[in-house]
Amino acid sequence: MTSTLITGISELWTLDPALDDPARPGGATEEQVLRDAAVVIEDGTIAWTGPAAEAPSADEVVDVEGRAVLPGWVDSHSHLVFDGDRAAEFEARMAGESYSAGGIGVTTAATRSASDEHLLSLVRGRIAEAVAGGTTTLETKTGYGLTVEHETRAAALLSSLIASGELDEATFLGAHLVPAEFDGREGRPGVEEYVDLVSGEMLAGVAPHVRWVDVFCEEGAFDPEQSGRVLRAGAAAGLGLRVHGNQLGRSGGVALAAELGAASVDHVNHLAAADVEALAATASRPTATGDRPGVLAVDAGPTVATVLPACDLSTRAPLAPARELLDAGAALAIASNCNPGTSYTSSMSFCVTTAVLQMHLTLAEALRAATRGGALALRRTDVGHLGIGARADLHVLDAPAAIHLAYRPGMPLTHQVWRSGIRSA
């Protein structure tokens, strides 16, 4: 067993779940943020945290010379399996066009024609970018294939990356858009036939490769009834549920996610008081242990409201009401939504900065939402914190305190990234 002591830490955010204050579920307690601290890593997990002056000896010592250390970011929403470029669509949007779901079809055409090798190298490149920015746990989705063959190919690619330890969670998003060949014209099948395909043959092909099923419940994509059919079929296949909901309007996605016990509903830009209440009401739903250490059951626990600040900015959408959601008692996560259409960035630091500056979260609330919040949205207990036994995923900032993330917006503050106790960036 090899051990590494990381010392010289000016500010250590353990966010240790054992030290949570139930009265302040969205922030951090004083005990969860240590000063002049050190961490010991053994076999890829956290073995000790405490004052640097009391640190035990270890095989290797790394001095971070007065820098702040956080848990690595947990990015619970991304769409990395794609080829093609939509910069022109983005530019038109900045000139006044509005976003619609239709752009997904452009990426789907480019992705279908990419070779397996090319797609794999694109995804690997995007994961490397995310890690370089401090992300150590990453979910990503299918959703730019939209045929049985191409969705299964994307899912198999993701499961191979999970098997090699490069990725953490994979999601089936066959219900991202109704592909053009299902337009219901001139005897061609329509949306109902596509929903049948997604919940039948496509799901059967993809399910062995993924832990989650997701739907884009929105005007121009799938309505709540169609979304519900896909989600129920996914649940029957043993998958956990995720929903893209209330991004472009009050789509019914939030209500559906809360009703079906989804682990997360993402976007949540357009919420009425009833939607906020519905999410807050799920916060007391107990979690349940999963089938392996560090993992919770996918079908129990709160429906996490996952906000996507970079997407809100890139689509000039009203910012999701993160402050209101937290104040109401909802569980909150922050994710990047890295994708070619609405949010072409995997920078969780940028998302956290935006959540503080624009969504009116405190730094502690934003840090927690981007670590523990994402972990809850993925039903993981082994990541998102630096409590004893957690995966040794550390984000060392080139700053003495984490508030610099918001105080120095846009500056390159990632100094080192450790994943499973190995320095990766």
Site residues (vs ligand NIG, CB under 6 A): 79, 103-104, 107, 216, 244, 247, 311, 337, 339-342
Shortest spacing between CB 103 and ligand NIG, in angstroms: 5
Rounded distance, CA 368 to CA 228, Å? 30
Per-residue buried b or exposed e for 127-157, using 16+ beta carbons within 10 Å of the residue's own CB: beebbebbbbbbbbbbbbbbebebbbbbbbb
Residue whose CB is less far from ligand NIG, 342 or 414: 342
Shortest spacing between CB 235 and ligand NIG, in angstroms: 21
Residue whose CB is less far from ligand NIG, 27 or 340: 340
Shortest spacing between CB 404 and ligand NIG, in angstroms: 29
Residue whose CB is less far from ligand NIG, 110 or 132: 110
Query: Residue 144: what are its φ and ψ, rounded to 5°?
Result: -120, 30
Beta strands in 337-380 (DSSP E): none
For residue 163, give Cα distances in angstroms to 142, 158, 160, 213, 275.
17, 9, 5, 19, 37
Residue whose CB is less far from ligand NIG, 58 or 322: 322
Q: Are 67 and 415 in contact (CB under 8 A)?
A: yes
Residue whose CB is less far from ligand NIG, 126 or 244: 244
Residue whose CB is less far from ligand NIG, 247 or 282: 247
Residue whose CB is nearest to ligand NIG in the complex, by number: 341
Shortest spacing between CB 369 and ligand NIG, in angstroms: 17
Residue whose CB is less far from ligand NIG, 119 or 296: 119
Torsion (CA) 97, 99, 100, 106 in degrees, nearest 10: 90
Structure tokens at 264: 């997360």
Residue whose CB is less far from ligand NIG, 245 or 421: 245
Shortest spacing between CB 360 and ligand NIG, in angstroms: 23
Shortest spacing between CB 197 and ligand NIG, in angstroms: 19
Q: Are 264 and 351 in contact (CB under 8 A)?
A: no
Task: Centre a 10 Å sphere on the Cβ of residue 366 and count the other Cβ atoms it contains.
Answer: 30
Shortest spacing between CB 99 and ligand NIG, in angstroms: 7
Shortest spacing between CB 405 and ligand NIG, in angstroms: 24
Q: What does DSSP assign to residue 201?
A: I
Rounded distance, CA 368 to CA 376, Å? 11
Sort strands 135-141 and 73-75 into parallel, antiparallel or unpaired: parallel
Residue whose CB is less far from ligand NIG, 34 or 210: 210
Rounded distance, CA 197 to CA 149, Å? 12
The DSSP secondary structure of 211-241, one letter per residue, reads: SEEEEEESTTSB-HHHHHHHHHHHHHTT-EE
**What is the C-alpha R_g of the chain?**
21
Shortest spacing between CB 279 and ligand NIG, in angstroms: 18
For residue 377, give Cα distances in angstroms to 36, 49, 103, 137, 341.
31, 26, 27, 12, 23
